[in-house]
Amino acid sequence: MTDLEQLLQAAQAEFAATSTPAELENAKARFLGKAGRVTELLKGLAALPVDEKKARGAEINVLKSGIEAALTERRQALADAELALQLKAEALDVTLPGRSRGTGALHPITRAMARIEAIFGSMGFDVADGPEIETDWFSFSALNNPENHPARSMQDTFYVDMKDEGGRYFNLRPHTSPMQIRYAQAHARRYAGQDHMPEIRVIAPGRTYRVDNDATHSPMFHQVEGLWVGENISFKDLKAVYLNFITAFFETDQLQLRFRPSYFPFTEPSAEIDIMFESGPLKGRWLEVSGSGQVHPQVIRNMGLDPERYIGFAFGSGIDRLAMLRYGVNDLRQFFDGDLRFLSQFK
């Protein structure tokens, strides 16, 4: 092996021993740098006789190209290794389980309301919405419940420190019944002076307020008002509609309905509606779910309609109570505590 071949092998070995680009550059300098071994050889050419110079020079150039090729190869190998390392460090493990944000869910009362709206919707009832801060007239007087009448305490509510035009306090509506008046008045106005008025068939679900607070009463609760007024609507229609609703809501016809005589100033006659399941955990107990009755002629008049011509029924059911029965919840307050351990069960 010539001295030049040995030098090439030495360079290849030194380059191969480096593990970083900086080390490689240092190794390069030892061969190709200003004081490098190849540079020294080239300088030595000057001392040779002319005829040897040419051949030796060509040999040294072959050596130089060989060293440069080894250098380039090692540079590439080091760069590849570095890239591989970097890719490995930045790698994503796509097989890891995902981190989800968690999906929300509708509140059980919202779900119950949606069911109620869908069921009554299927029976041709419109769905109406109205103010929670009411005037005394809509909450009581228009519903045939005169000022200072003791029946007002049946729906004792919260008063707002603000008075209406008549100097009476506004209140948080104690029931959804004001919506009977609001909806029917608008309907009556719309068809005033016409021979024919379509029937009024509406439900009005929403928040209501009373001075009550225990396991089955909350100061804020939900009701759904129902109203059907026409020229020939009777208690049998109320019974059919309510039975239809309640069997659809609970998805069972294993239940009975009972109308128990009662009193409300705005209906005459009036009845509480009780239901009794014939099977399941609540079997055999009568449960009160709604007030109801035939709309009082004075209320029909306050709606702007002629009580000689129009007649109908109304009911007001507790949505929270229905949701409690449907979902087997025994403390109403759990619906409003906002405890996710409770609420997440309704996903």
Q: List residues near ligand PHE by CB under 6 A.
A: 155, 175, 177, 264, 267, 270, 291-293, 314-316
Q: Kindly state the smallest distance separating residue 319's Cβ from ligand PHE, in Å.
A: 12
Between 15 and 313, name the residue whose CB sits nearer to ligand PHE: 313
In one-letter notation, the amino acid at residue 65 is S
Task: Compute the residue count for the chain.
Answer: 347
Q: Kindly state the smallest distance separating residue 239's Cβ from ligand PHE, in Å.
A: 14
* Residues 311 and 231: beta-carbon distance below 8 Å: yes
Between 135 and 177, name the residue whose CB sits nearer to ligand PHE: 177
Kind and range of the H or E run holding 209: strand 200-209
* Residues 335 and 329: beta-carbon distance below 8 Å: yes
DSSP-derived secondary structure letter, 174: S
Between 175 and 321, name the residue whose CB sits nearer to ligand PHE: 175
Q: Kindly state the smallest distance separating residue 270's Cβ from ligand PHE, in Å.
A: 6
Between 314 and 323, name the residue whose CB sits nearer to ligand PHE: 314
Residue whose CB is nearest to ligand PHE in the complex, by number: 316
Q: What does the alpha-carbon distance between residue 68 and residue 293 come to, in Å, rounded to a whole number?
A: 104
> What is the DSSP pairing of strand 133-134 with strand 159-163?
unpaired
Kind and range of the H or E run holding 318: strand 311-318
Contact residues for 148 (Cβ-Cβ < 8 A; gap 6+): none
Between 10 and 127, name the residue whose CB sits nearer to ligand PHE: 127
Q: What does the alpha-carbon distance between residue 309 and residue 224 come to, in Å, rounded to a whole number?
A: 26
User: 10 Å Cβ neighbour count for 198?
Assistant: 10
Q: Which structure tokens are listed for 210?
A: 């009373």
Between 264 and 277, name the residue whose CB sits nearer to ligand PHE: 264
Q: Kindly state the smallest distance separating residue 314's Cβ from ligand PHE, in Å.
A: 4
Q: What is the largest CA-CA distance in the chain?
A: 140
Query: Rounded to the nearest 10 degrees, what angle do helices 235-250 and 319-327 cross at?
Result: 40
Please confirm whether the linkage preceding 269 is cis (ω < 30° from 0). yes
Q: Kindly state the smallest distance separating residue 336's Cβ from ligand PHE, in Å.
A: 19
Between 177 and 302, name the residue whose CB sits nearer to ligand PHE: 177
Q: Kindly state the smallest distance separating residue 253's Cβ from ligand PHE, in Å.
A: 25
Q: Kindly state the smallest distance separating residue 254's Cβ from ligand PHE, in Å.
A: 26
